[in-house]
């Protein structure tokens, strides 16, 4: 009787021990693999960091804001120009700079009505050209208006370095940088070489533009650059009779903002006066300051300043 009752229990006990042994072995294998993977990733980051340039401070510049868009043609340069001008209007005592980092397609000369070439001072630095109280620098100041820039990547990066480091910016509270479309060399070079305070994303409400904006936001997230928020451009049209804003698209931009955990700082209506003022070289905030369009940009400037006030100041 004793043998009959003990053997089944002994068998169950052995099975339980076998299960525990296998479980422990499995967990140990997983932990070892996880630790190995973490060590590999840490090693990769260490190796990559060795090849990265050391971030520098631009002399006299306190904060740098990138105006970016994954997709071209969404009104990024128009936003950058009106934002920089609105910052100066809202805070006249502040010093504002505007850098056109789009080497292949510079827009700042036209939109800011500047067609001169910068002079070289005694320190062999270019003096930024000033209009509407904003210090400006662009590749368009250095080449003929109709001349294309047919350069490879290294030449572009060299030109970008000159536009940033070989300019006598003086004391700047805010430097607004109008970046080219996409997530390429220009963005990486700026982020790896300088202390960027934040990025402002500009998009239109169409799905194709929002998908590329998402990629841009993820790039900034990976590179630890705070995103100030989203500007939804050309989102509505205004009825000429009752002046009511009529939405053109759905709420896809709001969904993206929630997904990214950022705010839509401003919705800019589609209006011919914005395009006309840009083509005429006078931002809408100056050309028609009492219009809804101009008010939208000035409100955007207030939101951007509120964001910048929460960020660290990097000044040499």
Determine the pLDDT at residue 188.
86
Q: What is the separation, in whole angstroms, between the first and last Cα of the chain?
A: 90
Determine the pLDDT at residue 201.
95
Q: CA torsion, points 18, 20, 21, 26, in degrees to nearest 10?
A: 120
Count of beta carbons in the 10 Å neighbourhood of residue 113: 13
Determine the pLDDT at residue 170.
93
Q: CA torsion, points 149, 184, 128, 57, in degrees to nearest 10?
A: -150
Determine the pLDDT at residue 2.
45
Distances (CA, A) of 83 to 75, 231, 247: 12, 11, 23
- Within 8 A by CB and 6+ apart from 53, the residues are 192, 193
- Per-residue pLDDT 10s for the chain (316 aa) are 445 454 556 666 666 666 666 656 555 555 556 677 777 766 655 655 555 567 778 889 999 999 998 777 888 999 999 999 999 999 999 999 999 998 888 999 999 999 999 999 999 999 999 999 999 999 888 877 776 766 666 777 788 888 998 999 999 999 999 998 877 788 888 998 899 999 999 999 888 888 988 998 999 998 899 999 999 998 878 777 777 777 777 788 898 999 999 999 999 988 889 999 999 999 999 999 999 899 999 999 999 999 999 998 866 6
Determine the pLDDT at residue 240.
72
């Amino acid at each position: 009787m004793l043998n009959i009752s003990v053997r089944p229990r002994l068998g169950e006990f052995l099975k339980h021990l076998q299960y525990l042994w296998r479980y422990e072995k499995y967990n140990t294998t997983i932990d070892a693999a996880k630790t190995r993977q973490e060590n590999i990733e840490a090693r990769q980051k260490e190796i990559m960091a060795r090849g990265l340039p050391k971030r520098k401070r631009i002399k006299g510049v306190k904060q740098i804001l990138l105006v970016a868009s994954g997709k071209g043609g969404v009104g990024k340069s128009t936003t950058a120009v009106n934002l920089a001008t609105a910052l100066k209007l809202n805070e006249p005592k502040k010093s504002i700079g505007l850098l056109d980092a789009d080497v292949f397609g510079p827009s700042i000369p036209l939109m800011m009505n500047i067609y001169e070439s910068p002079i070289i001072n005694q320190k062999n630095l270019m003096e930024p050209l000033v209009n509407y109280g904003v210090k400006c620098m662009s590749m368009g100041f250095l080449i003929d208006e109709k001349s294309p820039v047919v350069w490879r990547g290294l030449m572009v990066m060299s030109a970008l370095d000159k536009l940033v480091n070989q300019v006598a910016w003086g004391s700047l509270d805010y430097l607004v940088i109008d970046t080219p479309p996409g997530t390429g060399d220009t963005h990486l070079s700026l982020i790896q070489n300088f202390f960027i305070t934040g990025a402002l994303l500009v998009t239109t409400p169409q799905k194709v533009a929002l998908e590329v904006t998402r990629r841009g936001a993820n790039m900034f997230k990976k590179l630890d650059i705070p995103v100030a928020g989203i500007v939804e451009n050309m989102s509505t049209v205004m009825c000429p009779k009752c002046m009511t804003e009529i939405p053109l698209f759905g709420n896809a931009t709001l969904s993206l903002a929630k997904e990214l955990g950022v705010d839509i700082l401003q919705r800019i209506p589609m209006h011919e006066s914005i395009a006309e003022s840009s083509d005429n070289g006078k931002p809408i905030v100056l050309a028609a300051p009492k219009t809804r369009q101009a008010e939208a940009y000035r409100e955007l400037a207030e939101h951007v300043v509120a964001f910048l006030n929460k960020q660290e100041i990097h000044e040499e």
